[in-house]
Structure 1
Amino acid sequence: MTIELKAIKRYPVKGMRGVDLKQAKISAHHMITDDRRFVIATQSSVGQEGVHEWARKSNFLQLVNTPKLAEIGTEYDDATCTLTILRNGRAICKGKLDDSMGRTVVEDFLKAFLKNEIAGTPKIYSVPDTNFGDMKEPYISLLNLASIRDFGSRIVQSEIDPMRFRGNLLIDGLEPWKELEWNEDKIIKINDVSFRVVHPITRCKATSVNPDTAISDINVPLMLRKGVNHLYMGIYIEALEDGMITPGDKLTVTVA
């Protein structure tokens, strides 16, 4: 059995669509560079003081509370920290997120786009040396595509887009749900970069939003509970060393 890394994804702005990476530089005890670096919030959700440290996802705009975000795509340029917002494949807004004027351009677009969806004015925040993952710890999420296929075909009886689960590393070649049997602290390697298994990821209602239609069309947590008697899809892992990974790399599991 060969387990292969099929895709690497990151989500520069939490709650918005992810972007594919041709390769990723991995740093020990860090999330993927610029993954969930920025968040969108309103004054009603974070107060006048804004965001100055990691905070729970409930403070920010995300699919579970603002599903309309799924209607727009994104591109992100590392060198210039520029976010491009797409709709139907066409660029409709662009701004440098490390620049106040650039952020204002994106914020003004979001204010108009979400005017009937949110209370208050959306603001984009970032905090130095901070990533806004669902966990405070700098974990990377890993999805087994076979588990998603099994969930879709056997339980939901419909094809399920892996993007519902907003994972970083998508693997294939592993038996369905086998990743959930990897014990905490088990070591896996991708292209000689070691990662520590942390724990399974409990899924919330945000996964019920169809990433193509922005409509909540499947109660994913309920279907998981009924079909496999748990709420897990994917696992968190933690990078233990620096290195590079690329789609096509092989994943190996230590025998211990």
Structure 2
Amino acid sequence: MTGRLAQICRHPIKGHGRETLASVRLLAGECLPWDRHWAVAHEAAQLEPGWNPCVNFARGAKAPDLMAITSVLDEATATVTLRHPAQGEITLRPDDPADLPRFLDWVRPLNPQSRAQPARFVTAGRGMTDSDFPSVAILSAASLADLSARMGHDLSPHRWRGNLWLDGAAPWAEFDWIGREIRIGQAVLRIEERITRCTATQVNPDSGKTDADTLSALEAAFGHQDFGVYATVIAGGMVATGDEWSLT
């Protein structure tokens, strides 16, 4: 089975924006570079050193308006520009404590007042993905098209916060790839497990408003709430949109 890499996305600040890339160099044993490099811990977070589970962070599952943020990262200066249709634009360095108050003022209206409020940026020395191992999320355009057709709703890829979107696979074939290796461009990844989804996928990433019950649709059609797979990079290399992928 072969196909083409359709899209590359990263999310420099977990839950706060997505960015589409033309190419990226994957590194063995690591997340997609700069993906979830920072996360926004809320005031009730109970953090351990290093990686922490998503319950400690502000995110789209609890604050749907966050899903409408887009981002642009300047890697050389570790500066992120965030844009939101209601809040406008802000440019900041998450590692600079002086920028935190501005960010909190900007993002606070996007967080329900009934929830624990965003408090500070944290890093982990690896991407703060939802998996407890450094992962890259691989998703299938055919599976998205199939679910969209079943729901009668054109679902944006950005609902799913994936990293690598593949064209050319049969719908839902990726669930049969667990334990197999896939070559994408110059890199090789091992497919590890399915991704079980949360209510963030019910949110329109253009508006930040809930408008599609993706979880019920998955449950009704397949008896689960899984979409996409987590992979680990076992051989690094450049990948670019349009690159061929193949199972090995």
- TM-score w.r.t. length of structure 2: 0.92
SS at match of 1:163: helix
Alignment of 1:1-256 (within 5 A): 2-46=2-46, 52-88=49-85, 92-114=89-111, 116=113, 118-127=115-124, 129-153=125-149, 155-182=150-177, 184-254=178-248
The 1:90/1:114 distance shift into structure 2, 3 A limit, reads closer
SS at match of 2:121: strand
How far apart, in 2, do the equivalents of 1:200 and 1:70 lie?
Answer: 22
The 1:91/1:206 distance shift into structure 2, 3 A limit, reads closer
Unaligned runs of 5+ in 2: none
* Structure 1 range deviating more: 97-106 or 11-20: 97-106
SS at match of 2:230: strand
Give the RMSD, CA atoms, in angstroms: 2.0
Contact 2:82/2:90 (8 A) holds in 1: yes
Aligned residues: 248
The 1:149/1:113 distance shift into structure 2, 3 A limit, reads closer
Per the TM alignment, residue 52 of structure 1 is displaced from its structure 2 partner at its CA by: 3.2
The 1:121/1:9 distance shift into structure 2, 3 A limit, reads closer
How far apart, in 2, do the equivalents of 1:205 and 1:89 lie?
Answer: 21
Per the TM alignment, residue 111 of structure 1 is displaced from its structure 2 partner at its CA by: 3.1
Per the TM alignment, residue 88 of structure 1 is displaced from its structure 2 partner at its CA by: 3.7
Q: 1:200-256 CA distances to partner (integer Å, 9 max, x unpaired)? A: 1111222111111212222211110111222221111110012111111000112xx
AA matched with 1:245: V
SS at match of 2:45: helix
Per the TM alignment, residue 91 of structure 1 is displaced from its structure 2 partner at its CA by: 5.5
How far apart, in 2, do the equivalents of 1:105 and 1:9 lie?
Answer: 26
- TM-score w.r.t. length of structure 1: 0.89
Contact 2:137/2:228 (8 A) holds in 1: yes
